[in-house]
Structure 1
């Protein structure tokens, strides 16, 4: 077992207090947006096996099969296939989509051949991998996810009563669903920013009025108005109005597949994803927006977001089921007098404590804990467990377990 030293990413949308409160540290006054746990080259965790802090990525590269196990290496190559984060949003993240695996490989190869520097601001593909992801709420959490049906969005735009939105409502009613969504999103993102700012402002004002009432659009309009407060005049506000507003209670989760537009708005959560940093942005950001590439990747189909609740196994592990192999997220809610729980050791794991105190103990045999070493995790602390290393967990706290779904 290795205690992880992790990097906090200070993105502007991050909370100044949520991650420090989780870790029990003093706030710095600066935003602390994401706590990264894993071996992504952008901010790998560090471990100390007697020779000082070493990036986990280097440890794995030195002995992939020993750290990850033969099955994981055979399936995904000699790298940890997932990245675990704690995400703390105080303001909306960019509206974005992720490519599928084929699109990511094609896009990465194209930019490599054209000599686009991997750290260039206009680079779309930082790697050749896809980025399906799962967010599990630790506090009440709000986000946008997936297109509403065009008819439902047209009704919302009618309720806002803004003249500049009427052409979009007409398109949403007149075209087949995929064409309607594509045409409206394209029109919003390619419009002259100054020209569309007036419509964005009027739509935001109308959303605030509806949010103050008790009508059917009050809840979603409160979310859209909040987005507009952070991004006044941004065309992404209109793009956001095409999407569902999703609210998660602690312990609930949301899975996001390729091509599904989404944005996180506020809250603290555990996020698990394939080990990738490929993001195509639709708006709500000062960063690069590549509209043609975005439109190639977006799946223009209405979807109904599915809020995931964990399935409890006979051993007490609560599993969040997703349709990907690169990662698997589960949770153990441990009580002080409970029996230790032996974890499956076939794949590499990152264990994250999000509250209380959890004891990790090396297990001496197939039937339970032995006299091996111990590691105690408190809020926000995490550990890497190599494939083949038997660990039992106990204590009084909540432990999230990230591993591979093989």
Structure 2
């Protein structure tokens, strides 16, 4: 078992304070810090702290796949850690995006390889051959757009804005209030000529301004989102698309699960993300980066998703809060040490074989296993190899650990 130093990723939408404060470093930072990667993705692996200095987790897995991953995980996923854990800090909205299914990712990666597109090229869609289901658990209030909302709600929202230019699109949905209608409307907007968008988007923004001023609360969050996105991305079809998506506010500890084909955009907040070990993103707007509309349309799932379908089931097993997902690559839970458990060494529940990454989000604890022990404070993480067996925890103050391991 070793302390694990995450790899910081700097993107324009990140925060100059959140990740630095979380890891106990000086802030504000020189550049916005968007993500902190704890995993073995070739793009930015984390680093193990050893007696001989730091070593890449990716290299450690290559040198000792059996001991680090275990026979069961190797049999299912080869010599690759199948999941990636991140801390995400968004001060500004991320791009409107979706992730491919396993079949789509494999086909897309092979196709772009045949075309000779370098894997690091900015116009590359598929940087690996894996799908990317993911779960995000909020560490603070977190705002997001995720999944197409029920059609009748989108109709009501657009009518509430009282924008005459929206009438033909409202009528389209009224005449076809299902996934096919959503596909037709979204396709119309995302492929619209820029002069048309330069008329429609400002009209919708004006409607949102009037709605907010009316102090009507039914769609207040949606209207404010239209205004925020319209200010940052004037003339972008993603501003219109936001009216078709579920507008979600997560409180700390709440989560959303995003399967393949789910159109989404994180808006603001800090959370823990766990996903399949992939960096495949298909963007649809709200970004200066590469947008491939035909490929996005090919992977999107337009089936309306109510809020309760997006939020995973959460169950409690003693000290462990388990976030249930169907993803075989990962399992996510939160271990809480408080009350009668304080001041004692306790056994953490053992639910799965294979390696674990533990991330401390509150307090401080000593984690012990066959390979020794480490102290985790807020913002620090540990790698527990498969051959190091069950773990024991000891804390004197209320402590929370996120645990990522391989799914069933």
TM-score, normalisation: structure 1: 0.94
Picking from 220, 228, 231, the partner of 1:229 is: 231
Structure 1 stretch displaced more, 146-155 or 353-362 = 146-155
C-alpha distance in 2, partners of 1:26/1:119?
32
C-alpha distance in 2, partners of 1:400/1:230?
33
C-alpha distance in 2, partners of 1:393/1:349?
14
C-alpha distance in 2, partners of 1:362/1:216?
52
Deviation at 1:23, TM superposition (A): 1.2
Q: 2:60 aligns to what SS in structure 1?
A: helix
Cα pair distance change 1:310/1:179, threshold 3 Å:
closer
C-alpha distance in 1, partners of 2:230/2:30?
24
Q: Is the 8 A contact 2:173 2:185 kept in 1?
A: yes
| Unaligned ranges ≥5, structure 1 | 364-371
C-alpha distance in 2, partners of 1:288/1:161?
33
C-alpha distance in 2, partners of 1:295/1:139?
32
Q: 2:307 aligns to what SS in structure 1?
A: coil
C-alpha distance in 2, partners of 1:394/1:144?
38
Alignment-derived partner of residue 404 in structure 1: 406
Please tell me whether residue 356 in structure 1 is matched to residue 357 in structure 2.
Answer: no
Q: 2:21 aligns to what SS in structure 1?
A: helix
Q: Is the 8 A contact 1:211 1:219 kept in 2?
A: no
Q: 1:266 aligns to what SS in structure 2?
A: strand
Alignment-derived partner of residue 252 in structure 1: 254
Alignment-derived partner of residue 376 in structure 1: 375
Q: Is the 8 A contact 1:91 1:230 kept in 2?
A: no
C-alpha distance in 2, partners of 1:266/1:129?
27
Alignment-derived partner of residue 95 in structure 1: 96
Alignment-derived partner of residue 368 in structure 1: none
Q: 2:172 aligns to what SS in structure 1?
A: helix
Q: 2:196 aligns to what SS in structure 1?
A: helix
Mapping of residues 67-146 of structure 1, within 5 Å: 67-146=68-147
Q: Is the 8 A contact 1:45 1:55 kept in 2?
A: yes
Picking from 271, 274, 279, the partner of 1:272 is: 274
Structure 1 stretch displaced more, 297-306 or 245-254 = 297-306
Picking from 274, 299, 302, the partner of 2:301 is: 299
Alignment-derived partner of residue 389 in structure 1: 388
Q: 1:154 aligns to what SS in structure 2?
A: helix
Alignment-derived partner of residue 367 in structure 1: none
C-alpha distance in 1, partners of 2:291/2:276?
22
Q: CA RMSD in A?
A: 1.6
Q: Is the 8 A contact 1:310 1:321 kept in 2?
A: yes
Q: 1:241 aligns to what SS in structure 2?
A: helix
C-alpha distance in 1, partners of 2:401/2:347?
11
C-alpha distance in 2, partners of 1:359/1:309?
29
C-alpha distance in 1, partners of 2:193/2:344?
62
Alignment-derived partner of residue 347 in structure 1: 354
| Unaligned ranges ≥5, structure 2 | none
Deviation at 1:152, TM superposition (A): 2.2
Deviation at 1:310, TM superposition (A): 2.9
C-alpha distance in 2, partners of 1:303/1:135?
17
Alignment-derived partner of residue 3 in structure 1: 3
Alignment-derived partner of residue 326 in structure 1: 329
Deviation at 1:176, TM superposition (A): 5.2
Q: 2:291 aligns to what SS in structure 1?
A: coil
C-alpha distance in 2, partners of 1:310/1:303?
18
C-alpha distance in 2, partners of 1:174/1:279?
32
Structure 1 stretch displaced more, 17-26 or 217-226 = 217-226
Q: 2:227 aligns to what SS in structure 1?
A: helix
TM-score, normalisation: structure 2: 0.94
Alignment-derived partner of residue 19 in structure 1: 19
Deviation at 1:151, TM superposition (A): 2.8
Q: Aligned pairs, how many?
A: 397
